[in-house]
Chains A and B, each alone.
Chain A
Amino acid sequence: MKKILIILCFLLFITGCTSNKHYNGVVNVLNWSSYIPDEVISSFEKEYNIKVNYGTYSSNEELLAKVTSSKEGTYDVVFPSDYMVELMIEKGIIQPLDKTKLSNYHNINPIFLNQEYDKNNNYSLPFLSTIVVIAYNKDNIKDNIEGYNDLLNEKYKNNIVVLDDQRIVIGLSLMALGYDMNETDINKLQEAENWLKNLKNNTKAYDSDSPKTFFITDEVDLGIMWSAEAILAQEKNNNIEIVYPKEGHAISMDNYTILKGTKNKDNAYLFIDYLMRDDVSQKIIDEYPYISPNKNISNSIDLNDIFNNGYYVKNIGESIKNYDKLWANIK
């Protein structure tokens, strides 16, 4: 008798766990981690009565691996960056976007459209963007910092935090030398390697996850980091100055895309349209200070600064192996 009771209780517990509110539909979203506040997702679920299955990834390559290794239709909306959009179009993973289904399409500032990785925005629309900047603590650094080459000064030994991102960091060393950010010439890459070895002498740590922490704990006075991180560091410490490197900076743009074979196309459009709304965009920016393409929102960074001297990471084919080796040599 006791056993039966226990089993009954257990079964009740299980049904208690699985019985859910009834939704009208679902949308399967895969996005970067720490990118959309939970509140934004739950408001969407309430408003449209659509369940959001939300998964995250931490690199474009992880996204590609997740999408290509699972059955078509597993995910509906994903947020690849610039070069990954191009690659996904080439591989035929994402489908053309029907902009007539997006009532908030006109909120996008045209300066963000027609980027080189998807010329007419047939497949993608900008979601959020960020650039790589130099940040430094005015309290301790009295010199004038204008670009990457200023960071090689021997005074800054063990005083810099650098993004742990091989394409971006090799790219900026190439820019520092006056070359293209996506250069593949072996000799120029060799020069970049030497440049980066010099920078390493001054580097305290390579970190992509939270370089702002290094500033907040006074570990370093200089850093090469994402603008959003630099702004967060600035919020904690007013003396942090943000510099747009004169040699050029890397831009990264993450985009709304819908995967081929989606079974929830209408919900996918609803979800994208919802994120494009002014109030929702504002909520996201308030939490994570990236650069929003929404023209009704004021960004903390001048938009001309972003595009005038900004360059995207591009697909470089087999040369990626040389980059990988170069990176291994530096470390």
Chain B
Amino acid sequence: MKNKVLKRIVLFPIIAYALLLILLPLVYILFLSFCQNDSYGGMIYHFTLSNYLSIFDITYIGILLKSSLIGLVTTFLCICISYPFALVLRERSKNVQNLMTKLIMIPFLTNSLIRTYGWIVLLRKNGVINSALIGTGLIHEPLGLMYNNLGIIIGMTYTLLPFMMLPVCSATFKIDNNLIEAAKDLGAKPLSIFKNIIIPETLPGVFNGSLMVFMPAIGYFFISDILGGGKAMIIGNLIKNQFLTARNWPFGAAISMFLLIITFLLIYIYRKLGGKLDDLGGM
């Protein structure tokens, strides 16, 4: 009994935090997305669906597609890096696993904006990478590593990697060794172990990671601004512009809600395909 009370007391700040700082702003954004705007950037509290309808303009659909492409490439690269890493790490001792996952986390305690600026020093025309390559005579003209889509993808993949790494690692570490032993005893070849045990067991982790990489990848406007030279507009820039330059908060709110709907849709599809929600929380 006492335990229960204590639990509630401990949980209260977390629930209050979630309600106050996550749910409440979300409800406000939802409310805004149905309002009209006046040209002064003010709100007219008059119900309209036009904000949602204007998302389906060819211009904005184009931005959505371009962002999605950047998001997909980023997600794919994150999987390509995280998956082999997790599989190799699985074979190591608990201490090595702990150490390696901590080593991945530590750089990410630094502000991501500062780390993104750090990349400029590496990638720019006479930056570290280009100077080294020219110095060794491998290339003669500096490579265009940033201020283009390549720069955006490098920045996104680097920044979002831990969001893929952690769920994939925890899913891989959780695979029961007995299962693999049994498969081996029954004569399964490594490829078929991989196909029939490892992939199905880690799929929820990969899906979770993909969701956590893909959604920010279409929203992190500062990376496209800094490493892409502001030349590619992704959904994040579009939303930011509605709030800061176009003075059209309701439209910005509608795009934000639209992204939320896409997230829910992806989770829904995942469940339809037989995934369990519990596995998604498996951090």
Flag if A164 contacts B233 (CB, 8 Å): no
The complex places the Cα of A167 from the Cα of B246 at a distance, in Å, of 10
Which residues does chain B contribute within 8 Å of A141, judged by CB atoms?
none
Q: Do A59 and B245 contact each other (CB < 8 Å), given the known contacts A204-B147, A217-B126, A318-B39?
A: yes
CB neighbours of A320 from chain B (8 A): 39, 246-248
Q: Is B185 an interface residue (CB 8 A)?
A: no
Q: How many residues of B contact A (CB 8 A)?
A: 29
* In the complex, B237 has a CB within 8 A of chain A: yes
Q: Using a CB-CB cutoff of 8 Å, which residues 172-229 of chain B contact chain A?
A: 225, 229
B244 close to A59 (CB less than 8 A): yes
A200 on the interface (CB 8 Å rule)?
yes
Query: Would you give the 0/1 interface string for B223-244, flagging 1 where the beta carbon is closer than 8 Å to chain A?
Result: 0010001111100011001111
Taking the closest CB of chain A, its distance from the CB of B189, in whole angstroms, is 50
Residues of A within 8 A of B247 (CB): 61, 64, 320
A90 neighbours in B (Cβ, 8 Å): 40
Query: A204 contacts which chain B residues (CB < 8 A)?
Result: 147, 229
Residue of A nearest to B227 (CB): A205
User: In the complex, what residue of chain B is closest to A316 when comparing beta carbons?
Assistant: B39
Query: Are B231 and A200 within 8 A (Cβ)?
Result: yes
CA distance A207 to B233 in the complex (A): 13
B135 to chain A: closest CB distance in Å? 16
Q: Which of A307-331 contact B (CB under 8 A)?
A: 315, 317-318, 320-321, 323-325, 327-329, 331
Q: How far is the CB of B103 from chain A (nearest CB, A)?
A: 31
Could you tell me the dominant secondary structure of chain B's interface residues?
loop
The residues of A that contact B230 with a CB separation of less than 8 Å are 164, 205-207, 331
Asked whether A203 is an interface residue with its Cβ less than 8 Å from the other chain, the reply is yes
> What is the count of residue pairs linking A and B with beta-carbon distances less than 8 angstroms?
77
Cβ–Cβ contact A65 & B232, under 8 A: no
CA–CA, A64 to B126, complex, Å? 40
Mark A276-304 against chain B: 1 for CB-CB distance below 8 A, else 0: 00000000000000000000000000000
What chain B residues lie within 8 Å of A324 (beta carbons)? 241-242, 245-246, 248
B77 within 8 Å of A (CB atoms): no
Least CB separation from A217: chain B residue: B124
The dominant DSSP class at the A interface is: helix
Chain A residue numbers with a CB within 8 Å of B238 are: 328
Closest B residue to A208 using CB positions: B230
Contact A203 B231 (CB under 8 A): yes
Task: State whether B231 touches A328 (Cβ < 8 A).
Answer: no
0/1 string, A38-75, CB within 8 A of B gives 1: 00000000000000000000010110110010000000
A224 shortest CB reach to chain B, Å:
13
Contact status B40-A61, CB under 8 Å: no
Once A204-B147, A217-B125, A325-B59 are accepted as A-B contacts, the answer to whether A61 and B244 lie under 8 Å apart by CB is yes
CB-CB contacts below 8 Å: A75-93 with B: 87, 90-91
4 closest A-B pairs by CB: A205-B229, A206-B230, A331-B233, A324-B246
Give 16 CB contacts A-B under 8 Å: A61-B244, A61-B247, A64-B247, A158-B144, A204-B229, A205-B230, A206-B230, A207-B229, A218-B125, A219-B124, A315-B39, A320-B246, A324-B245, A325-B57, A325-B59, A328-B238
Seed contacts A167-B245, A206-B231, A324-B245; 7 additional CB < 8 Å A-B pairs: A61-B243, A158-B144, A166-B245, A218-B126, A315-B39, A328-B241, A331-B237
A residues within 8 Å of B by Cβ?
A: 59, 61-62, 64-65, 68, 87, 90-91, 158, 164, 166-167, 200, 203-207, 217-219, 315, 317-318, 320-321, 323-325, 327-329, 331
